[in-house]
Structure formats: structure tokens, C-alpha cells
A = this chain, B = another copy of it.
Amino acid sequence: MTNDTYHHGDLKNALIRAGVEILARDGIGALSLRSVAREAGVSHSAPYAHFSDKQALIAAISTEGFHRLYAKLEAASAHFKSQPIKQITACARAYADFAVQERDIFNIMFSGVLEQEKAYPEFVEISKATAALLAKIVSSCQDAGIFPTGKTDLLSVAIWGQMHGIVSLALEKQISHTVLDQYKLNEILLFALNQFALVELT
């Protein structure tokens, strides 16, 4: 797609890819409209043909991040089809892995896109789908007698929040390294998840 014509052909997606690349390579501080344009090889104001402002580009990059997170959770879940215990623990691990490995995308995904007055339908869609995927897994755990029945959405939000918070604090280095070294992130997540469970998750 990256031919040498005046018109790029697929600039919108190229800009999103460039943003993801910059986040992974140079970190969140290096992500600017202009750096993304440079990375994609276009002029500094070319992005405005596809994104109304910087927030819109960030929303698009965050949307891509949610797609990756969804795919990772979906894969973890599919890998243990009809084994709810393994599904939920694998998802917790996948969530943590994603946050650690794609740290800056993870951070940008949760840095206020939905708080904006503007609506970003694709972002809303995939983030809702991700929440629904978690709820589905939690629900199947309930059906399997792993979690108490009822209030699936409440349970699901509580579990998501728990995973999210523990992972976030760890990324922020707010969890003392003596604790983190002793237990490791996955063990903390498992311990926390087990509080909800009727049988032991391992």
C-alpha cells in the first residue's frame, strides 16, 4: 500500500500502525501527531485528513489496543474450551501479560478516551465487547460452580476491576518490590481471584 504516489492509499491505518510502533519503541512520551506523521512518511498535517485532532488518533490507537487485548483474551479462553477454571486463570494471566508487554498501549487505552465529550463508536464497541467477553467467561464459571450464581455483571466488574487494579499498581511500581519479588504478579492475581471462587483456582 505504501506506494510513492501523492495519495498514500491507506494512510489512516498506516498512521495507527505508526503510533503503535512509536509507543512500543519510544514510549508514550514520544507519541505526537507529528512523530506519527514522520513515522508514516507524510507531512505533519496530513493526519488531519483522517483524524479531527490528536484525541481522535489516540482513540484509534487505543481501539487497536483493545482489539489486541480482546484477541489475546479470546485466544486464552478458546485454548481451554469448556474448562472454565483454566479459562478464567488464563485470562487473568493474559491480561497481565498484555499490560506488561504492551505497557504503553495498555496505559493509553485507559487514559481517558471515554471521558471525552466526543464519542468514538469503534472504541466503545470493542471495549464493550471486551467487557462482555469477560462477563461470558465469568458466567460460564458460575454455571460450572466455580463462582456463586447471580449478579453476573456485578461479579464480572469486580473481577475485572481487581485484575486491572493489581496490574496497574504493579506497572506503576506502587507494589513494593519485596512483595512483588516474593509473590510475583501472577500469584497475586491468582490469590485475589481465588477470593471469589468456591473451588481452588490454580
- Which residues in A have some Cβ–Cβ distance to B below 8 Å? 107, 110, 112, 114-115, 127-128, 131, 151, 153-155, 157-158, 160-169, 171-176, 178-179, 183, 188, 191-192, 195-196
Interface of A is mostly: helix
Interface centre among A171, A172, A191 (most CB of B within 10 A): A172
Residues of B within 8 A of A192 (CB): 158, 161-162
Contact A162 B172 (CB under 8 A): no
Residue of B127, B161, B168 touching A110 (CB-CB under 8 A) = B168
Residue of B nearest to A187 (CB): B154
Contacts of A151 in B (CB 8 A): 191
Number of copies: 2
- Give chain B nearest CB distance to A22 CB in angstroms: 17
A164 pairs with B154, CB closer than 8 A: no
Q: Which of B127, B154, B162 contacts A174 (CB 8 A)?
A: B127
15 contacts between A and B (CB under 8 A): A110-B169, A110-B174, A112-B172, A114-B172, A115-B172, A128-B176, A157-B169, A157-B179, A158-B162, A158-B166, A161-B175, A162-B166, A163-B165, A164-B169, A165-B165
Contact between A154 and B179 (Cβ–Cβ < 8 Å)? yes
Complex CA–CA separation, A171 to B128 (angstroms)? 16
* Given A161-B167, A165-B167, 14 new contacts (CB under 8 A): A107-B112, A112-B172, A114-B173, A153-B178, A154-B183, A154-B188, A154-B191, A157-B166, A157-B175, A158-B166, A161-B169, A164-B165, A164-B169, A165-B165
Q: Decide: B179 and A153 in contact? CB cutoff 8 A.
A: yes
Closest 4 CB pairs of A and B: A165-B165, A161-B166, A164-B165, A161-B165
A1–B163 alpha-carbon span in the complex (Å):
46
CB <8 Å contact, A172 and B131: no
CA of A178 to CA of B131, assembled, Å: 13
